[in-house]
Amino acid sequence: MKNSPVRLLAAAIATCASFSTSAAINSAAIISSSLSPDCLEYKVVGICYWLFCTPYGCKVRTSTKVRHYIPDVVVSAYANTGDNPWTEMSSLGMPNASAQAGNDGTTNHNNENNNIKFKEADVIGHPGGSLFSRFASASGYACKGATTPFMPYMLSTLDTIAWRYGIPESVYPESLTPGMREVGGMLSGDLWGSVYPRSGFLHQSDDYKAGAVIAQRAGDVTTRYGQPHLYMPIRATPEEGYWPAGELLEGDATTGKWQELTPTLSTTCAVFPNSGPQVQAEDEAYAWALWRPYSCCQRRGQTFLGSTDFQ
């Protein structure tokens, strides 16, 4: 379901009490992380055609069509309410009347294999907007993103019915059919978990992999319209000469990719399951920047005539 930014932000602030001491990364570090050429992946992909008219006649002008990725949001996955590792935003996920505590479905002894993991998830606008825009513009014409810095687009503590009880997605075909909508796969030997049901519970003994799957679920929800969750879509409206990112799909970098922010700060992006270092967070809290692809070209006339993409 959709909710206005003001309503969602007001609900989030109403639940705030204090900052968590377990937070592990701040806004300054997140902003600096947006200066990543690997994640940006700036490319010239085609030519746009515009009809430019004056009182003296009309002519066709062209402009370069570019594609690059933008860090739209920071997605956090953490074990207990209030423990978002993004310091300045941790208070948005504090306990409320319908979401208390959290953690795994075991006794949490060190010698125990925790098969059921639970994590809250927050999707918040990436704070590096202005710095990233200057960074991207250094390569040429830059596209605009779909989000507002620091804006909460999804807070799982406010999405209790869907996030803690799996209603109604527990009975969806994607939840009941093995091999459908999964991060990794059984045949390839790297199954991290299923995307559905998009709730906070997951059968996974590896805490890092559990956090990644939970982040993928939150990204899956917020990049789509009309989902049975309390959230705001992180989608932009297509315009003449502007092609915004669409729905996120697991394992497909052309729909979005992830940059780890904590417990390790990475300068590169990947999709899950990734083969890089998978450091287990001591406080079971993780955060990634979700980079999504946009294409655009500079307006050079009153009427957009179309575009040609390079092979």
Determine the average pLDDT of the residues in 6-21: 38
CB 12 within 8 A of CB 92: yes
Q: Which two tokens stand for residue 271?
A: 């999709």
User: CA-to-CA distance for 45 and 234, rounded, in angstroms?
Assistant: 24
What's the confidence (pLDDT) of residue 21? 35
User: CA-to-CA distance for 155 and 167, rounded, in angstroms?
Assistant: 16
Portion of the chain with pLDDT greater than 90, in percent: 78
Mean pLDDT of the chain: 89
On the question of pLDDT at 114 being above 90, the answer is no
Determine the average pLDDT of the residues in 274-278: 84
Largest CA distance in the chain: 81
On the question of pLDDT at 150 being above 70, the answer is yes
Determine the average pLDDT of the residues in 185-201: 92
Window from 49-58, 111-120, 297-306 with minimum mean pLDDT: 111-120
- pLDDT band with cut points at 50, 70 and 90 for residue 18: very low
Portion of the chain with pLDDT greater than 70, in percent: 87
Window from 62-76, 82-96, 133-147, 297-311 with minimum mean pLDDT: 82-96
- pLDDT band with cut points at 50, 70 and 90 for residue 208: very high
DSSP designation for 281: P
Question: pLDDT: is 134 or 311 the higher one?
Answer: 134
Cross-strand partners of 309: 46
What's the confidence (pLDDT) of residue 100? 63
On the question of pLDDT at 8 being above 90, the answer is no
DSSP designation for 99: B
What's the confidence (pLDDT) of residue 276? 78
Total domains in the chain come to 1
> Across the chain, how many H-helices and E-strands are there?
7, 12
Which pTM does this prediction carry? 0.88
Domain that holds residue 50: 5-309
What's the confidence (pLDDT) of residue 68? 98
On the question of pLDDT at 1 being above 80, the answer is no
Task: DSSP for 197-228, please give it.
Answer: S-SSEEE-S-HHHHHHHHHHHHHHHHTSSS-S
On the question of pLDDT at 64 being above 60, the answer is yes
What's the confidence (pLDDT) of residue 146? 96
Q: Is residue 298 left, alpha or beta, with left meaning phi > 0 and alpha meaning psi from -120 to 50?
A: beta
Determine the average pLDDT of the residues in 264-291: 93
Q: Which two tokens stand for residue 209?
A: 């992999």
Window from 8-17, 177-186, 262-271 with minimum mean pLDDT: 8-17
What's the confidence (pLDDT) of residue 4? 46
Window from 20-34, 127-141, 288-302 with minimum mean pLDDT: 20-34
